[in-house]
Amino acid sequence: MKFKWYGHSAFGITTADGVHICTDPYIPGSYDGAIGYGAIGDAYDVVLQSHDHDDHAGAGDLSGTPVVVRGPGEHKVKGITFVGTHTYHDESRGSERGENTVFTFEADGMKVAFLGDLGHVLTDEQLEVIGPVDVLLTPVGGFFTIDAATATKVAEQLKAKVIIPMHYKTDACGFPLATVDDFVAGKANVERPGAAEVEITAADLANPRVIVLDYVT
């Protein structure tokens, strides 16, 4: 399975069977230019949208006619079942920033979890729905979402083997987020491939690690 990071929370995921999945595509230039990442030029079959803020709800700008998956429950598209788990964008049950959906799916012998803009540690009920995961896409920048310390706790809750951080401060992001450095500090097996894309197979899960991608430029 291939993972390409466009920036913020937008990943392009391609399965071995050629299903193309995009997570939370942003609207370029939104929030008065704070989202400085470039337009997403690739076509996708499925879009997983965790919530409807402009830095996560740019499916309408993608080429083609992707199926947009929103909200809790099971959603079967292109032979893959995407499971949405209801969570919140903050620690106050959504009273500050609203609701959020965590998505999981299985393909290529791996279970992937995309946390969207999760704002809190997971409850026992949420963990029961999500279950242990192999590849975790998690926000780490704090302020609007979980920070580095809480993201580490959530990764432990989910027993994640491979972690790809997202939603943190970069040169193309004007939001007051922390950089990825706080999250990787003190962690073993941190890889920086110097590229925007990485391929992960089930065999790679024997080597737990954190992979820090560059964003697409």
Domain boundaries, the chain: 2-211
From the CA atom positions of the chain, what is the Rg in Å? 16
Whole-number pLDDT of residue 91: 76
DSSP 8-state class, residue 123: P
Whole-number pLDDT of residue 63: 87
Taking 70 as the threshold, does the pLDDT of residue 18 lie above it?
A: yes
Taking 90 as the threshold, does the pLDDT of residue 12 lie above it?
A: yes
Note the residue count of the chain: 217
DSSP 8-state class, residue 167: S
70-94 per-position pLDDT tens digit: 999 999 999 999 999 999 876 777 6
Q: How many helices (H) and strands (E) does the chain have?
A: 3, 14
Q: How far apart are the C-alpha atoms of 57 and 100, rounded to whole Å? A: 12
Q: How far apart are the C-alpha atoms of 95 and 99, rounded to whole Å? A: 9
**Domain covering 2-211 in this structure, CATH number:** 3.60.15.10
The pLDDT confidence band at residue 95, using thresholds 50, 70 and 90, is low
Determine the longest span between alpha carbons in the chain, in angstroms: 43
Helix (H) or strand (E) holding 126: helix 124-130
**From the CB of residue 128, how many other CB atoms can be counted at a distance below 10 Å?**
10
Quote the pTM value: 0.96
Phi, psi (rounded to 5 degrees) for 130:
-75, -50
Helix (H) or strand (E) holding 77: strand 73-77
Q: Which two tokens stand for residue 119?
A: 């704002």
Q: How far apart are the C-alpha atoms of 42 and 112, rounded to whole Å? A: 21
The pLDDT confidence band at residue 184, using thresholds 50, 70 and 90, is very high
Phi, psi (rounded to 5 degrees) for 167:
55, 60
